[in-house]
């Protein structure tokens, strides 16, 4: 429990960048400040989550339905590999893994980058502990289904939490320039946990 509280404290009080991208030295591409959001959300809490099947950097394919009846799923869309905020956000989920385990949840990370790019980027970050999926071709089809494909072809920085029945229980599009708050994710997972445990 102490470890979980420390993880919450670190991840909720850290600034926009935790310094994790320092391991990349000069390999990170700074896109500058972007328009905070540039899409129209198509999926909201209470909707059935759109199904997808995407290739993972592990070489397998992953479908959302693989987890039906087994796990709550945190879908994390990020805009692009090799960028500062994205390179901080996903390693933070490894630190938060005990929190996600507590709520029987797994993370699926999705970007519109191709597999070779995602592989090189995530190998630089080290093991993330979750599947990283490519929504590259047809370009951004999954992001578009959720309403988070931007006009420039990037995905929004968005979080969807899908419960074991396949229903979206949390949908949030963050300012693309900022890492989503872990506290909101944990709070949403707690609400799912309460309902699933109810008699």
CATH number assigned to the domain comprising residue 192: 3.40.30.10
Please give the pLDDT value at position 197.
56
Say if residues 95 and 14 touch (Cβ distance below 8 Å). Answer: no
- Mean pLDDT: which of 28-32, 134-138, 195-199 is highest? 134-138
Question: pLDDT digits over 84-107, tens only?
Answer: 888 889 998 988 999 999 999 999
Instruction: Give the model's confidence band at 154: pLDDT under 50 very low, under 70 low, under 90 confident, else very high.
Output: very high
Q: CA-based angle 32:57:52, to the nearest 5?
A: 85
**Number of domains observed in the structure of the chain:** 1
Please give the pLDDT value at position 155.
96
Alpha-carbon gap, residue 38 to 44, rounded angstroms: 17
Please give the pLDDT value at position 5.
52
Question: pLDDT digits over 6-27, tens only?
Answer: 445 544 444 444 445 455 667 7
Please give the pLDDT value at position 25.
62
DSSP state of 56: B
Instruction: Give the model's confidence band at 61: pLDDT under 50 very low, under 70 low, under 90 confident, else very high.
Output: very high
Alpha-carbon gap, residue 159 to 162, rounded angstroms: 10
Q: Give mean pLDDT, residues 39-46.
A: 96
Q: Which residue has the tokens 């500058």?
A: 32
The residue among 163 and 182 whose pLDDT is bigger is 163
* Residues spanned by the domain of 34: 2-197
User: What is the reported pTM?
Assistant: 0.86
Residue 138 has pLDDT above 80, yes or no: yes
pLDDT over 70, % of the chain: 84
Q: Which residue has the tokens 């994710």?
A: 185
Q: Give mean pLDDT, residues 27-43.
A: 84
Residue 162 has pLDDT above 80, yes or no: yes
Please give the pLDDT value at position 14.
45
Q: Give mean pLDDT, residues 181-195.
A: 88
Is residue 26 among the annotated active site residues? no
Catalytic residue, from 86, 95, 158, 188: name it: 86
């Amino acid at each position: 429990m102490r470890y979980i509280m420390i993880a919450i404290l670190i991840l909720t009080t850290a600034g926009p960048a935790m310094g994790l991208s320092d391991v990349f030295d000069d390999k990170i591409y700074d896109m500058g400040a972007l328009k905070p959001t540039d899409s129209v959300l198509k999926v909201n809490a209470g909707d059935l989550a759109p199904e997808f099947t995407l290739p993972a950097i592990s070489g397998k394919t992953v479908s959302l339905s693989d987890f039906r009846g087994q796990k709550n799923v945190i879908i994390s869309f990020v805009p692009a590999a090799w960028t500062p905020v994205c390179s901080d956000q996903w390693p933070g989920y490894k630190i938060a893994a005990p929190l996600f385990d507590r709520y029987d949840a797994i993370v699926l990370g999705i970007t519109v980058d191709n597999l070779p790019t995602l592989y090189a980027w995530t190998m630089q970050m080290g093991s993330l502990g979750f599947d990283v999926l490519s929504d590259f071709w047809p370009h951004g089809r999954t992001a578009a289904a959720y309403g988070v494909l931007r006009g420039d072809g990037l995905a929004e920085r968005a979080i969807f939490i899908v419960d074991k029945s396949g229903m979206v229980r949390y949908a949030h599009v963050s300012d693309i320039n900022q890492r989503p708050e872990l506290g909101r994710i944990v709070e949403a997972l707690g609400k799912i946990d309460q309902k699933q445990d109810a008699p």
